[in-house]
Amino acid sequence: MEPTRRSSYDASFKLKAIDVAIQEGNRAAARKLSVNESMVRRWRRQREDLMQCPKSKKAFRGHKSRCPELENVLEDWVNTQRAGGRGVSTVQIQLKAKTIAREMEIEDFKAGPSWCFRFMKRKNLSIRTRTSLSQQLPADYQEKIKNFHKFVETKTQEHSIGPDEIINMDEVPLTFDLPLTRTVNKTGASSVLLKTTGHERTHFTCVLACTASGQKLPPMVIFKRITMPKEQLQKGIVVKVNAKGWMMEGVMKEWLMECYSKRPGGFFHRKKALLVLDSMRAHITESVKEAIKKKNSIPVVIPGGTTKYLQPLDICVNRAFKAALRVEWETWMTSGEKSFTKTGRMRKASFTDVCQWILTA
């Protein structure tokens, strides 16, 4: 006699069985889905857990927590730290767990690395790479967002401004080296090296701008140097230099003349336009505002602390641009011959190379 083969069912099937059981009863659901009635009863008891777990999960395996109350308090602490934008490491979790155990008078609680990772798995926590610097939201940010939207809507209706005349600009800080922060490597290796030219701290700035209809304005790049590069630079990109390699009031006026005026219909500026920019100091000086108005444009300043909600380039362009730029850098690093200094250090990419990366990205 052949042994009975056992079947396993995923969470989506179990939830379906629970829905049928609620409507028609446990026995009817078991007959309809060809399962044992005791299984339906057990699934109904597990309904809350099944609704929260992945739909493809088939079983709740693993050890249950020995100290569920301690772990609940610890989870609240982790959530509080992350809500405040503070980083949390596994070592901090272990130390905090020991502190809570002492307060709860729990004996023989070691809070080792293995327990820490089991705790993280039970509480759906994982180690993540930082995606962006935390921005402190103002207390009245919702009201500021509402007022911003209302102002833009009023001006677009008042002057019949279309998508071609709504322009957003933003500065993107960059470096000559763009290495990944993580890489695939042999487990257990004592060191994980990533090859660079050693110029990952040599900064420059790229200024991007686009219209609401999706048209791109010529990019501007600001290098940190006193004199202009002697290299023959590409057309289609505006190159500037200053001691800080960052947007300044004078450079902002040059951007208005050399990039902003290149948009469709921007040279004669017959149509009213909206220029959306953040509240950086170089954007909001009186002389810059006057220069924008001379271009028959209305400066629309994004309230401080709300760019992650209101800056279109921040939300959907800059990240993709940086990723494409990193691809160009990696291609350059892995192909062609490189020049070296007398001490054996690889020289950084030329200004021509960087400008070409930006145009391609």
Asked if residue 232 is part of any domain, the answer here is yes
Parent domain of 307? 161-179+198-336+343-360
One domain for residues 90 and 230? no
One domain for residues 20 and 119? no
Question: How confident is the prediction for the chain on average, in pLDDT?
Answer: 86
Q: CATH number of the domain that 253 lies in?
A: 3.30.420.10
pLDDT given at position 154: 93
Asked if residue 102 is part of any domain, the answer here is yes
Q: What are phi and psi of 173, to 5 degrees?
A: -70, 130
- Residue among 217, 257, 258, 223 at smallest CA distance from 238: 258
One domain for residues 256 and 356? yes
Tokens 């833009």, located at residue: 152
One domain for residues 172 and 288? yes
What does the alpha-carbon distance between residue 76 and residue 88 come to, in Å, rounded to a whole number?
13
Write the pLDDT tens digit of every residue in 239-251: 999 999 999 999 9
Domain boundary among 123, 153, 170: 123
Largest interatomic CA distance in the chain: 92
> In the predicted model, what is the mean pLDDT of residues 342-352?
85
In this predicted structure, the answer to whether residue 296 has a pLDDT above a threshold of 80 is yes
> In the predicted model, what is the mean pLDDT of residues 198-222?
91
In this predicted structure, the answer to whether residue 213 has a pLDDT above a threshold of 80 is yes
Q: CATH number of the domain that 105 lies in?
A: 1.10.10.60
Residues 6+ apart with CB under 8 A from 303: 138, 141, 144, 145, 147, 148, 279, 310
pLDDT band at residue 2 under the 50/70/90 scheme: low
One domain for residues 351 and 235? yes
How deeply is 217 buried, as exposed, middle or buried, from its count of CB atoms within 10 A (0-12, 13-18, 19+)? buried
pLDDT given at position 331: 86
What does the alpha-carbon distance between residue 168 and residue 314 come to, in Å, rounded to a whole number?
10
Asked if residue 323 is part of any domain, the answer here is yes
One domain for residues 264 and 210? yes
One domain for residues 316 and 213? yes
Asked if residue 140 is part of any domain, the answer here is no
pLDDT given at position 87: 79
One domain for residues 242 and 106? no
Alpha helices in the chain (DSSP H): 11-24, 26-33, 37-45, 47-52, 68-83, 90-103, 113-122, 141-158, 249-258, 286-294, 307-310, 312-316, 318-334, 351-360
Asked if residue 37 is part of any domain, the answer here is yes
pLDDT band at residue 1 under the 50/70/90 scheme: very low
Query: What are the angstrom distances between the C-alpha of 24 and each of 36, 292, 315?
Result: 15, 69, 48
One domain for residues 169 and 94? no
Asked if residue 59 is part of any domain, the answer here is no
Tokens 């056992």, located at residue: 6
Asked if residue 185 is part of any domain, the answer here is no
> In the predicted model, what is the mean pLDDT of residues 172-185?
79
In this predicted structure, the answer to whether residue 14 has a pLDDT above a threshold of 80 is yes
One domain for residues 171 and 26? no
Write the pLDDT tens digit of every residue in 67-117: 889 999 999 998 888 877 777 888 889 999 999 999 998 888 888 998 998
Write the pLDDT tens digit of every residue in 131-162: 655 566 778 888 999 999 999 999 999 999 99
Asked if residue 327 is part of any domain, the answer here is yes
What does the alpha-carbon distance between residue 77 and residue 85 come to, in Å, rounded to a whole number?
13
What does the alpha-carbon distance between residue 237 and residue 354 come to, in Å, rounded to a whole number?
11
Q: What's the pTM?
A: 0.65
One domain for residues 86 and 214? no
Number of domains in the chain: 3
One domain for residues 15 and 88? no
pLDDT given at position 338: 78
